[in-house]
Structure 1
Amino acid sequence: MVSNREEILSMTNELVAVESVVNTKGEMEIADFLNKKIASLPYFQQHPSFVVKSQTIQDEVERYNVLAFVKGTKTKSNKTVILMGHLDTVGIDDYAHLKDIACKPNELMQALQDESLPELVKSQLKSGEWHFGRGALDMKCGVASHFSLLKYYSEHPEELAGNLLLLAECDEEDSSHGVLSALKDLKRLRDEQNFDYIALINSDFVAPRFEGDENRYIYKGSIGKLLPSFFITGHETHAGSAFEGLDPNFLAAELTRQISYNPDLVDDAFGEFPAPPVSLKQTDFKPSYTIQTALSAYVYYNFFIQSWSPKDVLEKMKEQADIAFDNALNTLTQRHRTFCERSGESYRELPWKKRVFIYEEMKELLEKEHGEAFINHMKEFKEKLLQDKSLDTRMFAARVVEEEWKWMTNKSPAIIIFYSSIYSPCVEVTGKNEKEQKLLAALEQSVDEIQPTYEYPIVIRNFFPYVCDMSFMAMSDDEEGIQAVCENNPSWGTKHYVNYQDIRDINVPSINIGPYGYDAHNKYERMELTFSTEIVPEITNGVIKRLLG
């Protein structure tokens, strides 16, 4: 046994105690804490250059990753296994009156005894086998598990035929600046230390997939994520003359009805089904109340992928926008006719026609029509827009499309489709090369070794289903797929940029062995102690030993 429950739980509590909400100074504080903790270990006192706190690059927020490595002495080998985990958490406002103790697990659990709790939460709290607190599950226990393994092998490097590298990264919960910056550090270490990255073990949380599910999951690879976005223009009118205009909110509502929860838009692969698309924002751009209908609306959807490319998704979104536009116009025509029949007004055919553009189609049209004047104007507009720090990448992209729309000669209602956020590529680990084959064999053997000692089934699945930074450690997309992302994100190269070549340069097969629990991103966030602090480090170590033994 290379680690123990009490040690990992204690480290988890120390990490949770640092309130490291994403995009706050807490991300600096927790990196500083972990860096000092690692640097204080005897091995790293002897090798101070083997631990580094590295600031993120091209980032509007000051924050840091922590990287540390142990060089094995069993036999000379360049083989290197990466242990990865994120240090940031989501916010704590959902804890309401318990907010001040959200990061103090023992005090929080004591206070929860007096709360009115759902039955499952109440029974798990009373059992003593569950640990509560912001970040305990997602994913500071996973980082604590990795730390315990790094600490053990720093004390026993003679047991390693290769190297063990810890990457504790920031900004996983928002824009992945941490992992994208860390790629540069990993490439530098690879070149300086001659590391050969053969596997990555992430330790993000796992959870039941359905009510009554008692399986504990391990994932080989990760789901991909896109954010297809729609700028919708209408034709304004006074509300007293409703049928003289076309309300963009009406089109947006039909688009959401067509896309949200649509099982036909689920990209299943290997018999696994991710969640269907769902709207994450729907709004119009009216700054304040008037009795005039809105000029434009904006909606975007979470979209998981397992085999489709970003180009495939754009084409599917255009099909759905076509259907939604047709449905909206048909409904509007029917309602107009019925209104005229009831009111006695004379019926006339409405003038609206379907118009749907993929962003690069509209941009090409505008550049062809307006040339350098348009190109230069938009360059200046984006530079000025960057000064508004209140805009995230999603709203920045929408404002760019809104400005470009003003240059359209034909301003009749339309839907423009684009991407407005980071693309997290899908990662498959199927045994397609020797590194993947060895990693999968090591994982399966480690699970088989541990399973008889643990009462619940440990099940290996293909895609981590919640989105994580494993997506930026390997990539299977071809150039056409990546170009679809670059050409159709209006903030690309200004507010937003990803060097996908960095990902290809690392390209390490990745798996996830993480703490088990419920309600990540929720005030009842909690982890099961036995699996999270005992089984997770044991399986992880089993993989390490088989790869570097």
Structure 2
Amino acid sequence: MREEMLELTRKMVAVPSINTTSGEKDIGIFIENYLREIPYFKQHPELVVIQTLKDDWLQRRNVFALLRGEKDENSNTIIFHGHTDTVGVEDYGQFQEVAFDTAALEKELAKVELPKEVREDLESGDYLFGRGACDMKSGDAVFMVLIKHIADHVKELSGNILLSLNPVEENLHTGIIEGIETFEVLKNKYGLNYILAINNDYTCPMYPGDTNQYLYTGVGGKLLPCFYIQGRETHVGQCFEGYDPTAVAARLTSEISFHTEFCDSYGGEYSLPPVALKLKDLKGWYNVQTAKEALVYFNYFVHNASTNEILSKLKKTAEKAVSDTMKDLNQNYKDFCELSGKEYVTIPNAWSVLTYEKLYQLASANCKELDELLATITEEGLQKNEDKRELPIRMIRMMLEKAGIYHPVVVLYFAAPYCPHNTLKSEEVQDKRIMDKLRQITDEVEKETKVHYEICQFFPSLSDSSYLCIDDPQESTESLKRNFPQMEQLYPLPFEKMRALGIKSVNFGVHGKDAHKWTERLYMPYSFEVLPKLIIKTLQKFL
């Protein structure tokens, strides 16, 4: 199957399915056509299910294929799932035109200077280069070829395999979120019992010289905390008379980005610290007036902490940031007064810090039609395709006015995307059984292949697996909703269906290096030789 998987990967890479382009629809059509050529699905065309995303101008689609074992009556079902989109190719520079042509790209790379490790990997012949080769069209190809071959022996299969390949993973995870509905429909229609989901998203070395192969029993969550900062503008000629929101934004960044006090832990594994994703003032043009508003938001990984815990920590950090900003401002003003021979008078700290929930309470007390106004603003913004992280700024401005808040203020809110965290827990009996079986499987593969596996709790990147099971308790998600402006319009999630399905998901994954970089490459000996054995043994052990 190695050559078949390689050839299919090359063909899938050749379909440029960059996120938010028509290529995402094209790769779905390619996958559907491949599946419908499999004899089993020619006999059972109804078992290939296409779900077009709702109100999607690109007409992207989820592709499902259900292989029903015929050996005996067995409702147990394993899900194979992966994403079909890629990031862009701007980072390829002069190689953009061949980024999706694996053979041509390798020829071009051979002509130029490369980092030592990249050069060695290219010349080894063990790596496949190209956008999406590692993340994660090879993982999809492995699933598709396995499905094809298992379907040839469906009478020997006990239980079922459901393939789910989804677009829009690289930003908002819309594919898998809408796919929850289809999981529920197929479960009820065919009496399926989802016992495990396997994601084949890429794995990679965790440090230089790392030869381990990693298997993840869950995935970390992600929040996007945003700080809207309303200061007080002034002329640059009276700069000490204003309250500079950019200074507060910069202070927040220095207090939060890369700080390990925000690393979340569970079972001895720690999340990466937050990092700023955007920081800007909100002036629309140049003039000599200081900024009145600023925005900064952060990627925030979560392993176990509740929304309330995180809110409390971030609010205290914001309060410290404005306090320290005022201390610096006063010290600088004092120094300037000494230089210029002027009398120094302390600049008062006029700042306050509010959560979105608190601002909503204050505004709603003065405005009975607040919910209608918020819904209208949101709908208008969606019609204009406004950025979902910045659209709430218009809501916050309106609510500050309704609440009569004109002084400098920081408003903390959450925005899209929100990715729930989940993992197998050794204290849960069912989870412990799954973990024990996985260890048995990896032990067997290790003996046969000499590959060493490390089993970890959290996939270290973002993943569609977040939406198959949710460990966050309802109290935590309710707090999230109260602090996420118009979540039902901007990022609706089927929380109850996700909890009801509760599909445990693990990440096996192809192996490679430099995903999201122009040197992205797939390690073929593991991905096309060892990984299929791991998956087949899992089917045998669980079904």
Question: What is the TM-score of this pair, normalised by structure 2?
Answer: 0.97
Q: 1:315 aligns with which of 302, 305, 312?
A: 312
- The answer to whether the aligner puts 1:86 opposite 2:87 as a matched pair is no
* Equivalent position SS for 2:455: strand
- State the Cα deviation string for residues 45-68 of structure 1 (Å, max 9, x = none): 111111122112354542001100
- The answer to whether the aligner puts 1:350 opposite 2:347 as a matched pair is yes
- The answer to whether the aligner puts 1:470 opposite 2:465 as a matched pair is yes
- The answer to whether the aligner puts 1:386 opposite 2:379 as a matched pair is no
1:298 Cα shift?
A: 0.4
* Equivalent position SS for 1:231: strand
Letter in 1 for 2:151: S
Q: Is the 8 A contact 1:32 1:53 kept in 2?
A: no
- The answer to whether the aligner puts 1:213 opposite 2:199 as a matched pair is no
Decide which moves more: 55-64 or 440-449: 55-64
* Equivalent position SS for 1:117: coil
Tell me, in whole angstroms, the C-alpha distance in 1 between the residues paired with 2:22 and 2:542: 37
Q: Is the 8 A contact 2:416 2:490 kept in 1?
A: no
| Residue number in structure 2 paired with 1:448 | 443
Q: 2:133 aligns with which of 133, 136, 156?
A: 136
* Equivalent position SS for 1:339: helix
1:382 Cα shift?
A: 2.5
Q: Is the 8 A contact 1:231 1:402 kept in 2?
A: no
- State the Cα deviation string for residues 155-198 of structure 1 (Å, max 9, x = none): 11133210011001111111111001111111000011000101
- The answer to whether the aligner puts 1:430 opposite 2:434 as a matched pair is no
1:22-61 aligned within 5 A? 22-57=19-54, 59=56, 61=58
Q: Percent identity?
A: 34
Change (3 A) 1:435 1:158: farther
Tell me, in whole angstroms, the C-alpha distance in 2 between the residues paired with 1:456 and 1:76: 35
- State the Cα deviation string for residues 429-461 of structure 1 (Å, max 9, x = none): 124555434432332122111113434422111
Tell me, in whole angstroms, the C-alpha distance in 2 between the residues paired with 1:320 and 1:508: 36
Q: Is the 8 A contact 2:374 2:486 kept in 1?
A: no
Tell me, in whole angstroms, the C-alpha distance in 1 between the residues paired with 2:380 and 2:373: 11
Letter in 2 for 1:387: Q
1:104 Cα shift?
A: 0.7
| Residue number in structure 1 paired with 2:171 | 174
1:470 Cα shift?
A: 0.5
1:468 Cα shift?
A: 0.1
1:13-412 aligned within 5 A? 13-57=10-54, 59=56, 61-372=58-369, 374-389=370-385, 391-412=386-407
Change (3 A) 1:185 1:379: closer
Decide which moves more: 206-215 or 65-74: 206-215
* Equivalent position SS for 2:366: helix
* Equivalent position SS for 2:246: helix
Unaligned runs of 5+ in 2: none
1:494 Cα shift?
A: 2.2
| Residue number in structure 2 paired with 1:481 | 476
* Equivalent position SS for 1:386: helix
| Residue number in structure 2 paired with 1:536 | 531
Tell me, in whole angstroms, the C-alpha distance in 2 between the residues paired with 1:263 and 1:433: 29
Q: Is the 8 A contact 1:393 1:491 kept in 2?
A: no
Tell me, in whole angstroms, the C-alpha distance in 1 between the residues paired with 2:16 and 2:232: 48
| Residue number in structure 2 paired with 1:499 | 494
Q: Is the 8 A contact 1:424 1:472 kept in 2?
A: yes
Change (3 A) 1:207 1:61: same
Tell me, in whole angstroms, the C-alpha distance in 2 between the residues paired with 1:269 and 1:375: 38
Unaligned runs of 5+ in 1: none
Change (3 A) 1:433 1:57: farther
Q: Is the 8 A contact 2:218 2:423 kept in 1?
A: yes
Change (3 A) 1:318 1:58: farther
* Equivalent position SS for 1:522: coil
| Residue number in structure 2 paired with 1:413 | 408
Tell me, in whole angstroms, the C-alpha distance in 2 between the residues paired with 1:473 and 1:502: 9
1:393 Cα shift?
A: 1.2
Q: Is the 8 A contact 1:472 1:503 kept in 2?
A: yes
* Equivalent position SS for 2:81: strand
* Equivalent position SS for 1:412: coil
Q: 2:456 aligns with which of 452, 457, 461?
A: 461
1:402 Cα shift?
A: 3.1
Decide which moves more: 114-123 or 184-193: 114-123
* Equivalent position SS for 2:506: strand
Tell me, in whole angstroms, the C-alpha distance in 1 between the residues paired with 2:119 and 2:397: 49
Change (3 A) 1:119 1:402: farther
Question: What is the TM-score of this pair, normalised by structure 1?
Answer: 0.96
Q: Is the 8 A contact 1:79 1:163 kept in 2?
A: yes
* Equivalent position SS for 1:246: coil
* Equivalent position SS for 1:283: strand
CA RMSD in angstroms, aligned pairs only: 1.4
Tell me, in whole angstroms, the C-alpha distance in 1 between the residues paired with 2:32 and 2:430: 30
Q: Is the 8 A contact 1:59 1:177 kept in 2?
A: no
Q: 1:524 aligns with which of 497, 503, 519?
A: 519
Letter in 2 for 1:33: F
Q: Is the 8 A contact 1:420 1:491 kept in 2?
A: no
Tell me, in whole angstroms, the C-alpha distance in 2 between the residues paired with 1:257 and 1:293: 21
Tell me, in whole angstroms, the C-alpha distance in 1 between the residues paired with 2:357 and 2:321: 21
* Equivalent position SS for 2:214: strand
Decide which moves more: 6-15 or 400-409: 400-409
* Equivalent position SS for 2:517: coil
